[in-house]
Chain A
Amino acid sequence: MNYIPHTELEKKEMLKAIGVSSVDELFKCIPKELRPKSFNIPEGKSEFEVIEYLKLLSRKNATNLTDFVGGGFYDHYIPAAVDALAGRSEFYTAYTPYQPECSQGWLQAIYEYQTVICELTGLDVSNASLYDGGTALYEATMMAVRLTGRKKIIVDSGVSLIYRTMLYAYTSNLSIEFIETPVVHGQSCREDIYKHLDDQTAAVIVQNPNFFGAVDDFSDIVQQVHKYGALAIASVYPVSLGMLKSPGEMGIDIATGEGQSLGIPLSFGGPYLGFIAVKKEHMRQLPGRIVGATVDKDNKRGFVLTLQAREQHIRRERATSNICSNEALCALRALIYASLLGKTGFQELAKLNYQKAEFAKAALDKVNGVKVKRSAPTFNEFTVCLPKNADEVVCQMINKGFACGFPLGRFYKGLDNYLLVAVTEKRTKEEIVQFANSLEAALCS
């Protein structure tokens, strides 16, 4: 199937209008020696055949494991209305709303999405989305570098290693100095941060909850950071913001995070949703597209892409970022999701996640040999210490039908027996009890 409507007759008419005798003539600008050395692509198949083949492939993926894996990406329930609405092709087959009069649907949706992110983070201005939480954190870092003119960044090692790795990869050519500070008793070590904090520091980066699941209040750190004229950046988990102190309430300058938990499927790594929100005074350094409200000739409210003079299509090599495409459709999903949950629903969801995780902690407390880390409060994800190598236990638990968690030894030296467990509102009491029982059995064998 090639989705090309032209009949032979129509092709002839078009060629005549152009004034050439064949389509080949239109390609005569490509000389013979520049033609493909090979083009061994299999011939196309019918829609039915392609679907059957891909169905088969999809069945080679494990889908009946009960999911207790988090690590920044969570198995939350996605209401049917999100799929139904984001699946409307008037949304997903449109492009960037450069012509506002015929894109008010998208522009208004993004304005509403920006509002949601501001409300969740407690900050003043957001943008129309970035690729994911990792690139969002990178963009925040570059903002801090631009705003302060400094090149030293203090990064708490409780920030996801996935994001730290990305950050270092992106900035390897830019002579930026990164100093990692340790996590002590689950939380950010203030002493170490303050040891390195000085008037050469551009920013301090923290995460809430951190990768170990520990919850914190960074207000004290933020105060110190501001004393030195540096910026405070926090990477946050949006569902937790239905309960936890918001970055805005802590005085954080730039909040970023992964929006996958807001109605976006896990989908083996993407597409995801990077969000970013900043204090008013940093607005002009925000990368990416931003939608603003205005009026038309008849004084009717309308929405447009604005502050475009920051972007690549105008500033080119002096743009705040090179970003062009964003994750609009994912932002739309997040907006619809947040709208369905609403003010009280979002708080209820957070409570559900928290309570289920607390129950899981209690259940695992009772398993012989397992020690739940309780030196800091947690939201819906926590760390346990197992009596043996976590990798092995994970393997055994897979055979029992559980993706039981993420072995922290993969990301942190010396933590080979530690497991990161996430519990969302999708996990029932029975599943949690069974999980604890299976873990007990696995540890005995």
Chain B
Amino acid sequence: MNIPENLLYTKDHEWAKIEGDKATIGITDFAQHSLGDITFIDLPKPGAKVEQSKWCATVESVKAASDVYAPLSGEVLKANTELTNHPELVNKSAYDAGWFAVIKIADLEEKNKLMNSVQYKEYVQGLSK
């Protein structure tokens, strides 16, 4: 399971890459693996406001639809429209080409509620037991 060190993680398997006052968000390798072949992603629209731990997107696979929760609160600056025609990018490259959106962070303090890569790794290992 790939868990890059420079990202922050949530219990619901989302990741956030903080750069200044912006954050790129997506779902983790663990998430894409358990979802199976992703067939569609319902992304938030630019301009939309998202709230930490509240619904911001939906990922569909053949037999399931899973909610994605925002790792941080903020305003959506841009969404990864490539995913509309190539949802498989999330399966192939969850942390890179498979990014969901870039948001303007509302409250940087919120990052303290997230896990670092070490903590997330432990958490994921605990789940498989």
Let me know if B1 is at the binding interface, CB within 8 A. no
User: What separation, in Å, do the CA atoms of A314 and B63 have in the docked complex?
Assistant: 7
Interface of A: prevailing SS: helix
User: Which of chain A's residues have a CB closer than 8 A to the CB of B39?
Assistant: 309
Q: How far is the CA of A308 from the CA of B39 in the complex (A)?
A: 11
* Chain B residues with CB below 8 A from A307, complex form: 40
Q: Give every chain A residue within 8 A of B63 (Cβ-Cβ).
A: 308-309, 314
Do residues A314 and B65 form an inter-chain contact, with CB atoms below 8 A? yes
Determine if B127 is an interface residue (Cβ-Cβ < 8 Å). no
Among B39, B63, B64, B65, chain A packs the most CB atoms within 10 A around the CB of B65
Produce 1/0 per residue, A307-325, CB < 8 A to B. 1110000110010000000
B116 to chain A, nearest CB (A): 32
Give the most central of A284, A309, A315, A318: most B CB within 10 Å: A309
Nearest Cβ in chain A — how far from B17, in angstroms? 27
6 closest residue pairs by CB, A with B: A309-B60, A309-B65, A315-B65, A314-B65, A314-B64, A309-B64
Give the size range of B's interface with the partner. under 10
Count A-side interface residues using an 8 Å CB cutoff. Answer: 7
B residues with CB within 8 A of A = 39-40, 42, 60-65
Q: List 8 A-B contacts (CB under 8 A).
A: A284-B42, A308-B62, A308-B63, A309-B40, A309-B61, A309-B62, A309-B63, A309-B65
Q: Which residues of B lie under 8 Å from residue A318 when comparing CB positions? A: 65
CB of A302, distance to nearest CB on chain B (Å):
15
Please name all residues of chain B whose beta carbon is closer than 8 Å to the beta carbon of A314 when the two chains form the complex.
63-65
Q: How long is the Cα–Cα vector from A318 to B40 in the complex, in angstroms?
A: 16
| Chain B contacts for A309, CB-based, 8 A | 39-40, 60-65
Residues of A within 8 A of B64 (CB): 309, 314
Minimum CB–CB distance from A28 to chain B (whole Å) comes to: 38
Contacts A308-B62, A309-B65 aside, 9 further interface pairs with beta carbons under 8 A come to A309-B40, A309-B61, A309-B62, A309-B63, A309-B64, A314-B64, A314-B65, A315-B65, A318-B65
Q: How far does the Cβ of B84 sit from chain A's closest Cβ, in whole Å?
A: 11
Which A283-323 residues have C-beta < 8 A from chain B? Answer: 284, 307-309, 314-315, 318
- What's the minimum C-beta distance from A311 to chain B, rounded to whole angstroms? 9
CB of B21 to closest CB in A, whole Å: 28
Closest to B59 in A: A309
CA distance A308 to B61 in the complex (A): 9
Task: Name the A residues within 8 Å of B65 (CB-CB).
Answer: 309, 314-315, 318
Residues 308 to 354 of chain A near chain B (Cβ within 8 Å): 308-309, 314-315, 318
Contacts of B42 in A (CB 8 A): 284
Query: What's the Cα separation between A318 and B65 when bound, in Å?
Result: 10
Alpha-carbon separation in the docked complex, A377 to B60 (Å): 48
Which residues of A in the span 389-422 have a Cβ within 8 Å of any Cβ on B?
none
| B61 CB contacts on chain A under 8 angstroms | 309
A315 neighbours in B (Cβ, 8 Å): 65
